[in-house]
Amino acid sequence: MHRRTLLAAALAAPVGAVVGASAAQAHRPSRPPAVIGLPDGFCPQGITRGSGTKAYVSSLGDGAIHCVDLRTGGGMPLVAGSSGGQATGLAFDTSCRIWAGCGTMGGAAVYDESGTCLAMYPLGGNVHGVAATSGKVFFTDADQGKVYCVGLGRHGQLPGSEGVRTLALPRGLGDAGACNKGVAVAWNGCLIIAQAAAGRLYAFDPVTRAAKRIDTGRASVAGADGLLLRGNTLYVVRPGGDSVSKFRLSHDLSRATPVARIGDADLDCPSTIAPFGGHLYAVNARFSTPPTPNTEYCLVRLPD
């Protein structure tokens, strides 16, 4: 791993602290850290922006969630992990709650920003990607041709089990073995879904249940995991490589035109990304490295 001294400094600083800065320096505009350390052995997977400068990172290894300050690089545990636990995709809703997919445990968990668990929802399958709107939270299933939807109540209230729906996916998007992972919500309410094994992008309307494949031309999205949509710019994270693919989506969601590939020397099998100002932070999942309690992990800053 590169920049080990930066990682050590970041892990030593609490969230909200300015590492190595005087009071005068703390008020000067500065670039966010190039690398933000995560706990050794953390096995990160998902990331989502929280309130202010905070972001949350999930652990595929034990279901823990770690809080980091993207301005300073400081960090602290938010949710403790447990043996056999998993946390995959994350999303932050308009009520300042953190939604976590629970992978092969087949459910979803909801936390407030203090780390208190507010609700658990059994969904089924292998729950992976998460995307939240003001009224609904959607989850992909990496093993089955389904999307799960949790409908929020008035003023964003958390529902009981009656608020959970399973949406069967049509042919193509619902193909067996396609491995639906990343998900993002487009401007028209459609879901953009990445198929890791099939190497395809789809637009899915959760109201009509219609789906159409998004043409990416000659650009490959094989192995795609996390998605991030900013305006009409779609970022696709492919853990098998060392870069993030940037596309421009057409208004009707029929085409994704390749724009650029964003890389960094410190990228090592990124899984997901989150925005911060004019930058992106990628989770270095390091899937090609066998995890141990001492394996180093971090977030890497990228230009957008």
In the chain the domains, ranked by start, together with CATH numbers, are 4-15+39-303 (2.120.10.30)
Q: Is the pLDDT of residue 75 over 60?
A: yes
Closest CA to 68 of 7, 14, 1: 14
Strand-pair partners of 147: 140, 167
pLDDT band with cut points at 50, 70 and 90 for residue 8: very low
Mean pLDDT of 23-48: 81
Mean pLDDT of the chain: 91
E strand map for 30-88: 35-38, 44-49, 54-59, 65-69, 75-79
d(CA 48, CA 94): 13
In this predicted model, what pLDDT tens digit does every residue of 28-37 receive, in sequence order? 447 899 999 9
Residue burial 160-169, b: 16+ Cβ < 10 Å; e: rest: eeebbeebeb
pLDDT of residue 23: 37
pLDDT of residue 15: 56
pLDDT of residue 19: 35
pLDDT of residue 242: 78
In this predicted model, what pLDDT tens digit does every residue of 263-277 receive, in sequence order? 999 999 999 999 999
pLDDT band with cut points at 50, 70 and 90 for residue 11: very low
In the chain, what percentage of residues exceed pLDDT 70? 90
In this predicted model, what pLDDT tens digit does every residue of 107-161 receive, in sequence order? 999 999 999 999 999 999 999 999 999 999 999 999 999 999 999 999 999 999 9
pLDDT band with cut points at 50, 70 and 90 for residue 72: very high
In this predicted model, what pLDDT tens digit does every residue of 156-194 receive, in sequence order? 999 999 999 999 999 999 999 999 999 999 999 999 999
- Residue pair 82/106 in contact by the 8 Å Cβ criterion: no
